[in-house]
Amino acid sequence: MKQRKAGDSAPVPAIEVDPDLSSPELYLNREINWLEFNARVLACAMQKKVPLLEQLKFLTIFYTNLDEFFMVRVANVYRQYRAGTPASGPDRMSPARQLAEIRRRVIGLTALAQEHWRKKVLPKLQEKGLTIRRYEELSEKQRQFLAEYFTNEIYPVLTPQAIDPGHPFPTISNVSLNFIVQLRGQDGEVHFARLRCPGNVPRLIFVPRGKEEKAFITLGLSAHMRDTDILLMEDLIEEHLPELFPGFTVVSAGLFRITRNTDVEIEEDEADDLLEAVKDLVDQRRFGDVVRLETAHGMPVELSEFLIKKLGLKPFQIYRVKGPLAFANLMALYAADRPKLKITPRPGRMPAPFLEGNIYARLRRGDCLLHHPYDSFVPVLDFIQKSAEDPRVVAIKQTLYRVGNNSPIVRSLIEARRRGKQVTAVVELKARFDEERNITWAEELEKAGVNVVYGLVGMKIHAKLCLVVRREEGGVHCYAHIGTGNYNASTAKIYTDMGMLTADADICADVTDLFNVMTGYACRRQFRRLLVSPDSMRSGLLDLIRQEIALHQEHGDGAIVLKCNQLVDKGIIRELYEASRAGVRVHLLVRGICCLRPGISGISDNITVTSIVGRFLEHARVYWFRSGGEGRMYIGSADLMPRNLDRRVEVLMPVLDPEIRRFIRNRVLELQMRDNMQSWKMEPDGSYVRTKPAEGEPAINAQLMLLEETPVENIDGKENDI
């Protein structure tokens, strides 16, 4: 993780420019750039001013991200490596080189994370009374309690598995915690066994120190943690391994974990039942090809060599871990009742338009913007719930991608159907890692009589749409909600997203037509107002960039601001290079992967790239073009990646209200471009530099200022220069 002081410039690479801007040097590798993003997440965990349990949270996010990276992205590169596939990305980096560079960077990042945990977070947690102990550090009284707990609660669940000619090496499920155990029989012969740590037993065991205590706290966190020690379940199991192998001597044991390829494809065109096909996919994912083996740092060499041989792994797939394996599970500790060790939560505001009694009458007067989590997600839930209850509403249509557990949206749709309304739910079963949950919701909705549609063959439906059809005086009227994020009340508290409620006739007609495309046999290439992938979004965005170039050449002052999660698509990047070469100023607010190189003389010297990684996960997509001073803006669900533009159903809607457009442009985008507290600037070599206030410059934390509605100097309602 490269961190230079703000103002230090990275060397600008000398690049020979092809006429069509196809030089590999112009495009960063997406996997390596993703690791730069995860490095920024880790940097958040390592900030001294971040409360202690927030540091723990960022560490768990770092490790969760890394797990998914190996399960999907590294698995794909490894598949290409084994197949001998030549370099295929715009950067032309070979799979072998990618794997080598990924390993080098991951080892460096995890070393930083492990050191921060062991030397900083763990000791400070102990100072605050949240003490994680090793078994040998516990008192004799605590060990007696633990022996009883092991016998009654854990031992019956464990299933040791012998490994010998009669018992082949067992199939190890993805990201499970396991012991490999070396044993010696009474005849002196050496044996091996595998033991899985149960996934349905709490990882953290809370052991009271008090003499009067009779029980363990295993399902929650006590408010009085100063009188309690915490033991990891695997430490207790390791201590009691001999009890699982009577008649044998435990010679050595080591903890390990494997990561498998979860990017299993469905042959949708050959599947008679998509629901059953996705159920099969979830089962297959648990036992895909092994991509990574993690072993505890102290594992004896003979044990690791045994595993490597049995799993058929290459040396670059092996990672030794100092610290707890499956670190993401330690997020359970965040639930401790220690508010001083966390950031104080703040409920979202209730915007004035939603304090009125009749939301439909308000929407007929104009559009309403919600900016989460600064604005509460409750108005979205209320809009759908009131529509479910309103006797004038005749139909509700909704897309569902990741809705979470105990979804109030699903309950509202079921209630609407119970009241006799026509209800359609387009449930995306192929939402990665949410398939099982979405299958459950789909079956629940179908039982209630909701018309459930499972998407389209060959592409995911990622658009965030809700359409309400209401019979009123003068005829039937439609109302729509279009968002940048999922209909998930939990993530709406930690993801920054935007949603627009509108009664605009053209937009509602477009949403109606799009639902017909998703549920029936309708075919539409163009819509009245919306940009919709896979048909009109790519061409629409390219046209907007080209129009900005033309207007700049005629009038000057060309400017583009694009805010998204990922910028990968070569066609979009090439057009942004063309805009920069024409003199258009381009500011990219890209939280995650950005394959474009800014600041290259003669190519991208008019482009800046900023990444904000902070308290909230930046998730909104906003695309703004000066358009000769008029200002054109779109918000929606699509990132600038080939999959979003070509292989998904995505929607970008125009922001038609000038006041809303000015608010987003000046209050949100401008503020984030000026952030100097939690933002990072990309250098031409692809590295990132954390920004800091210059001497005499005010500190600007965009997320905090939006949360507190802090006025900002020069944010005056005019569309400022970038």
DSSP conformation letters of 264-319: PPP-GGG-S-HHHHHHHHHHHHTT--EEEEEEETT--HHHHHHHHHHHT--GGGEE
Lowest mean pLDDT among 259-263, 359-363, 516-520, 712-716: 712-716
Given 371, 462, 477, 587, the catalytic residue: 462
**Residue 716: predicted pLDDT:** 40
Of residues 535, 225, 519, the one with CA closest to residue 527: 535
Q: What is the pLDDT of residues 593-651, one digit of tens each?
A: 999 999 999 999 999 999 999 999 999 999 999 999 989 999 999 999 999 999 999 99
pLDDT bin (cut points 50, 70, 90) of residue 278 is: low
The answer on pLDDT for 238 being more than 80 is: yes
**Residue 455: predicted pLDDT:** 74
Radius of gyration of the chain (CA): 28
Q: What is the pLDDT of residues 498-520, one digit of tens each?
A: 999 999 999 999 999 999 999 98
Lowest mean pLDDT among 196-200, 217-221, 471-475: 217-221
**Residue 285: predicted pLDDT:** 47
Q: How many helices (H) and strands (E) does the chain have?
A: 21, 27
The answer on pLDDT for 248 being more than 90 is: yes
**Residue 2: predicted pLDDT:** 46
**Residue 88: predicted pLDDT:** 83
Q: What is the pLDDT of residues 43-96, one digit of tens each?
A: 999 999 999 999 999 999 999 999 999 999 999 999 999 989 888 889 999 999
Q: What is the pLDDT of residues 344-381, one digit of tens each?
A: 988 999 988 888 778 999 999 999 999 999 999 999 99
Query: Taking the model in full, what pTM does it have?
Result: 0.91
Active-site residue, 462 included: yes
**Averaged pLDDT, 257-264:** 85
Mean predicted lDDT score pLDDT of the chain: 89
**Residue 283: predicted pLDDT:** 53
d(CA 416, CA 24): 54
**Residue 218: predicted pLDDT:** 47
Write down the residue that tokens 């529509």 correspond to: 387
**Residue 436: predicted pLDDT:** 74
d(CA 409, CA 418): 14
pLDDT bin (cut points 50, 70, 90) of residue 225 is: low
Tell me which DSSP letter residue 354 carries.
G
**Residue 714: predicted pLDDT:** 45
Write down the residue that tokens 């503020």 correspond to: 671
